[in-house]
Amino acid sequence: MIANIPGDKKEELLRLYKESDKAQERPRQKLEQQSKPISIIDDHHQMWDAYREKDWQEVLEHVETQVTTEARERLGDQNYRNCFSMSFAAIGNGKVSPKDVEDAVELLRKGMELTGWPLSTFRDLLGQHPKMYQVLQPFVADDEEGEYHDFISEHHVLWEAGSKENWEKVCEVVDSQLRPMAYKRLGEPNYRNVVILGLRGLALSGRALEGPVLEALKKGMEVLGYPKERAKELVNGIGAEKEAELLRIYGEA
């Protein structure tokens, strides 16, 4: 077809044709490579790389393939736990309300069905989800100790109610805030504030001193591990007469 073309032009034309053919071949090869299914292990590595970069949308693309029974078999339980941890982090940070909670609840329910792991395991895996306690809420109806309770948000409610002298609101949450688990979540300084505000709310809303108020003081002192003589540190702001009476009946209890 190019026999009558002079030598120099013939060589140049052949060179250009070969380069054009190779250029067309490379996209075909790339397309063929992309069409091949990626292995679960390679998929896991890609998910991990995206997670380290906090590319939440990229992580979300891998959730469906990484939280399957087959993935657990191929990756092992430790890496499989990481799949859930990364997935919860991506859902919580990469989706907007209400999907950030709804999708996490759905994934948690699926995870419990697939693995049989207890809720306490998933609580740890949910640690990077900003709304962890909202996600756990549908699963913790019988959580009397408060292991999955959001004591921090509740403490903000107590503090705001106390600052506004909304004593009835304080009374609504004080029993929950006095639980030993609240002490673990909030720390001693904040738990002391719980006791102080709780006693104040109960006393100033008209609850009996030798009843709910005394019981709240007893509970707080017990959780804090304070000796009786330190009770006066927690009893204030309820009027001198009530303070003296409460400390007296507590000392005699």
Confirm whether 7 is domain-assigned.
Answer: no
Amino acid at position 126, single letter:
L
Query: Is residue 69 located within the same domain as residue 102?
Result: yes
Query: Is residue 157 located within the same domain as residue 73?
Result: no
Confirm whether 36 is domain-assigned.
Answer: no
Confirm whether 51 is domain-assigned.
Answer: yes
Query: Is residue 182 located within the same domain as residue 228?
Result: yes
Q: At CA 131, angle to CA 127 and CA 135, rounded to 5?
A: 90
The rounded distance, in Å, linking the Cα atoms of 67 and 204 is 53
Backbone dihedral region for residue 117 (phi beyond 0: left; psi -120 to 50: alpha; all else: beta): beta
Report yes or no on whether pTM surpasses 0.85: no
Query: Is residue 163 located within the same domain as residue 123?
Result: no
Query: Is residue 165 located within the same domain as residue 223?
Result: yes
The rounded distance, in Å, linking the Cα atoms of 253 and 247 is 10
Confirm whether 146 is domain-assigned.
Answer: no
**Which residue, 139, 170, 189, sits at the end of a domain?**
139
Query: Is residue 157 located within the same domain as residue 194?
Result: yes
- In this structure, what token pair is assigned to residue 59? 């992580």
Residue 125 · residue 84 · CB < 8 Å: yes
**Which residue, 83, 108, 139, sits at the end of a domain?**
139
Query: Is residue 168 located within the same domain as residue 124?
Result: no
Query: Is residue 60 located within the same domain as residue 128?
Result: yes
Query: Is residue 54 located within the same domain as residue 128?
Result: yes
Q: Is the peptide bond before 98 cis (omega within 30 degrees of 0)?
A: yes
The rounded distance, in Å, linking the Cα atoms of 139 and 128 is 18
Give the single-character DSSP code of 131. Answer: T
**Which residue, 116, 139, 162, sits at the end of a domain?**
139
Query: Is residue 165 located within the same domain as residue 247?
Result: yes
Residue 134 · residue 101 · CB < 8 Å: yes
Give tens-digit pLDDT for 113-160: 999 998 889 999 999 999 999 999 998 877 888 888 889 999 999 999
Q: Domain residues for 131?
A: 41-139
The rounded distance, in Å, linking the Cα atoms of 85 and 99 is 17
pLDDT tens per residue across all 253 residues of the chain? 555 556 565 566 556 556 665 445 444 444 444 444 679 999 999 999 999 999 999 999 999 999 999 999 999 999 999 999 999 999 999 999 999 999 999 999 999 999 999 888 999 999 999 999 999 999 887 788 888 888 999 999 999 999 999 999 999 999 999 999 999 999 999 999 999 999 999 999 999 999 999 999 999 999 999 999 999 999 999 999 999 999 999 999 8
Q: At CA 221, angle to CA 218 and CA 226, rounded to 5?
A: 145
- In this structure, what token pair is assigned to residue 187? 């720390």
Confirm whether 13 is domain-assigned.
Answer: no
Collapsing DSSP states into helix, strand and coil, what is residue 3?
coil
Domain count, the chain: 2
3-state secondary structure labels for all residues of 233-250: HCCCCCCHHHHHHHHHHH
To which H or E segment does residue 202 belong?
Answer: helix 188-204
